[in-house]
Amino acid sequence: MSVISVKFAVFLLLAAVLYYTAPSRWRWKILLAESLCFYLICSVRAILFFCITAVSIWYAALRMDRINEEYPKELAACEAEGKKMTRQEKLELKAREDKQKRKILLLLLALNFGILFFIKYGEIPCRILNGVCAALQIGYELEYGGVMVPLGISYYTFQATGYLIDIYRRKMRAQRSLPRLTLFFVFFPQLVQGPISRYDELADQLYRPHDFCFRNIRSGVELMAWGLFKKLVISDRIAIMINAIFGAPEKYGGCYLLFATVFSMLQLYTDFSGGIDMMRGAAEIFGIYPPENFVRPFFARDQSEYWRRWHISLNNWWRDYIFYPLTLSKTFNRLGRHARKLLGEQFGKKLPVLMAVIVIRVINSIWHGATGASILGGLYYGVLLALSFYFENTIKEATVRLRIRTDCISWRIFQTVRTFLLIAAPRLTSQAQSLSDGARYVKALFREWNPWIFFDGSLFSLGVSRAQFTVVMIALLLLFAVSLLQERGIVIRESLARQNLVFQGAVMLCFLYAVVLFGTYGSGYDASAFTYAQF
C-alpha cells in the first residue's frame, strides 16, 4: 500500500476512527491490530521474518532482564548475611553476569542482522561464489532466487536490536508482554521509512490511551500536508530533471551534471524528509509524537553538525551502539597506543576516534547499498568527517592567526555553503551501479564547460517545462524561508494554531489546493517510490 494513495488515506481514517471510538484500555491493542493489518497488507509473505525478530528479541530481553536482576539480589543477600562485598568482588560479580548477557546479545545480533543481510545482500555471496567458480573454471553456477524484502525490515531490526542493547546495558527493564513489544516494533506510521525510535522515548506513548484531541488531528494533518508538498511539488519534479541528466551522461555533461549533483541532494532531502513528515503526521493523529529525523541539515556549518541534523535517528543509532563502543574498545585503544609509537603522540591518540568515524560511515554506506560506488561514497564521508575532527583545533587556531572574523554572517554563509557542497559532491555518482560506471560520470563532468545552460532555457528540455521549473524554484524558496524561520526558533504550526479557526482552515485548504495543483502525479507516476522506503 503506497503512502501516497487513497487506500492509505482511507486506512488512516478508519484506523483513527476505530482507535478513538474503542474503550481506553483497548486502544493500544487496536493500534497493534491496525499495525499488523498494515504489515500483512504490505508484506504478508515476509511475516515469518518479522515474527522471528519479535519473538527472539522479546525472549532474549527477558533472559537478560533476569540476569540484571540477579546483581542487586546477590548484593542484598550478602548484606543480609552481614557480609559486605568489596569493590573488587562487586566488579567480578558484574563481569560474570555481563559475560552471560554478552553471549545472548551476540547470538541475537547475529541472528537478526543475519536475516537483514541475507534478505538485502543474499545475492552478493552468490555472485562471489559464481565468480570464484568461473575463475577456477568449475562448471557450477548457483542461482539466487531472491527473497521478498519485508516492509521496514531495517527499521524494525534497528529498533529491536537497540532495545536489546539497552536492556544489556541495564538502561531499563524489559517489556514482559510480547504484544506490547510487538507494537513498538510494528507501529505502522514508522514502519515504512522510520524514524528509528528508542523504546524509552516511544513505548509509553504507544501504550497510553490517547483521548480524541482536535489539536493532535490538526497538527498531524498539517505535518502530512507539508510532507506531501515536499514530496510531490519539489522532490518528484526535481527527480524528472536529474533522472534525465544522470540517465544520459554522454549527452548531458559539464554544468548539466553540476546542476544534477546539487539538485539531487535537494531531491533526496525533500523526498526523505517529506516521507518522514507524512509518517510523523500520521502518528500525531493518534497523539503519538515520534522523534524528529531532520533538523534542517543544509544549515549545518561543519561535517559533524551535518550528521547530527541528517537522518538523526539512524545516526544516533550508529553513534550509541557502534561508534562509542568501538572508540572505547580495548582493540581500538591498543591500536592507538601502537600508533603513538609509530606515527607520533598526537596522531596515535586520535586514531581510535578517526577509525571509528570512518568505519561508521562505511557501514552506513553498505546499508544504503552494497555497490562499489556507494562504499566509496561512504569512505569519502568518513575521511571527510575524520579530517574535520582531526583539524578541528588547527582550523580554529588558523582563523585566529589569519584574523578571520568568525562572528559575522559572511563566515557563517561560507561555512554552510562549503559543508553543503562537500556533502553533495558524491551525489554525482549516486546512480552509478559500479566503480567504472561512477568514473563515467566524473569524466562527463569535466568533458565540457557549458555554464550558458543556466540562462538559455536548456534546463527546460529535461522533462520539465518553464512553468513547472518556476514552480519548483518558488517551492524551494518557500522551503528555504520556512527553514530559516524554524532555524530562528519560530514554530510555524504553533503560530498558525494561535490564529482564528477560519483562517487556519483557509490556509490549510489553500496549501492542499496548491499541492493538488502543482504536485507531480497521474499516469506514469509511481507514488510508492520513496527513496528510503526500499530499506
Partner 1 sequence: MEENRKRYKETFAQALEISAEEAETAEFQKTEKWDSIGHMMLIAALEEAFSVEFEPEEMLTFDSFGKGIGLLQEKGIAI
* Chain residues that interact with partner 1, rule: CB under 8 A: 91, 169, 171, 304, 319-320, 324, 327-328, 333, 349-350, 352-354, 389-390, 392-393
Distance of CA 454 to the CA centre of its chain: 33
- Cα–Cα dist 92/95, whole Å: 5
Nearest-approach distance from CB 390 to partner 1, in angstroms: 7
Q: Within 13 Å of residue 310, how many CA atoms lie on the same side as its CB?
A: 23
- Cα–Cα dist 196/185, whole Å: 10
- Cα–Cα dist 467/460, whole Å: 9
- Between 329 and 499, name the residue whose CB sits nearer to partner 1: 329
- Between 387 and 484, name the residue whose CB sits nearer to partner 1: 387
Cell of 24: 481506553
Nearest-approach distance from CB 302 to partner 1, in angstroms: 10
| 421 Cβ contact partners less than 8 Å away, ≥ 6 residues apart | 262
- Between 121 and 390, name the residue whose CB sits nearer to partner 1: 390
Helix 372-390 vs helix 345-368: crossing angle, to nearest 10: 150
Nearest-approach distance from CB 309 to partner 1, in angstroms: 15
Nearest-approach distance from CB 377 to partner 1, in angstroms: 23
- Between 357 and 515, name the residue whose CB sits nearer to partner 1: 357
Left (φ > 0), alpha (ψ -120 to 50) or beta: where does 168 sit? alpha
- Between 198 and 231, name the residue whose CB sits nearer to partner 1: 198
Nearest-approach distance from CB 328 to partner 1, in angstroms: 5
- Between 94 and 208, name the residue whose CB sits nearer to partner 1: 94
Give the CA-trace dihedral at 401, 403, 407, 413, to 10 degrees. -100
Nearest-approach distance from CB 352 to partner 1, in angstroms: 7
Residue 97 · residue 68 · CB < 8 Å: yes
Residue position matching grid coordinates 570512518: 358
- Between 282 and 355, name the residue whose CB sits nearer to partner 1: 355
- Sign of the torsion angle spanned by Cα atoms 36, 50, 165, 90: positive
Q: DSSP letter string over 238-283?
A: HHHHHHHHHH-TTTS-THHHHHHHHHHHHHHHHHHHHHHHHHHHHH
- Between 390 and 469, name the residue whose CB sits nearer to partner 1: 390
- Between 350 and 440, name the residue whose CB sits nearer to partner 1: 350
Residue 418 · residue 303 · CB < 8 Å: no
- Between 172 and 363, name the residue whose CB sits nearer to partner 1: 172
Q: Within 13 Å of residue 84, how many CA atoms lie on the same side as its CB?
A: 2
Q: Which residues of 354-363 are buried (b: 16+ CB within 10 A; e: fewer)?
A: bbbbbbbbbe
Residue position matching grid coordinates 527499521: 155
Nearest-approach distance from CB 335 to partner 1, in angstroms: 13
Nearest-approach distance from CB 91 to partner 1, in angstroms: 6
Residue position matching grid coordinates 591500536: 335
Nearest-approach distance from CB 104 to partner 1, in angstroms: 18
- Cα–Cα dist 273/267, whole Å: 10
- Between 393 and 523, name the residue whose CB sits nearer to partner 1: 393
Nearest-approach distance from CB 280 to partner 1, in angstroms: 23
Helix 372-390 vs helix 392-401: crossing angle, to nearest 10: 50
- Cα–Cα dist 15/29, whole Å: 12
Nearest-approach distance from CB 332 to partner 1, in angstroms: 9
- Between 181 and 354, name the residue whose CB sits nearer to partner 1: 354
- Cα–Cα dist 428/288, whole Å: 38
Nearest-approach distance from CB 163 to partner 1, in angstroms: 14
Nearest-approach distance from CB 264 to partner 1, in angstroms: 29
- Between 5 and 329, name the residue whose CB sits nearer to partner 1: 329
- Cα–Cα dist 11/19, whole Å: 12
**238-243, long-range: CB within 8 Å, 24+ apart, which pairs?**
238/263, 238/264, 238/266, 238/267, 238/270, 238/472, 239/267, 239/271, 240/462, 240/463, 240/464, 240/520, 241/459, 241/462, 241/463, 241/464, 242/267, 243/431, 243/463
Nearest-approach distance from CB 168 to partner 1, in angstroms: 11
- Cα–Cα dist 513/31, whole Å: 31
- Between 100 and 504, name the residue whose CB sits nearer to partner 1: 100
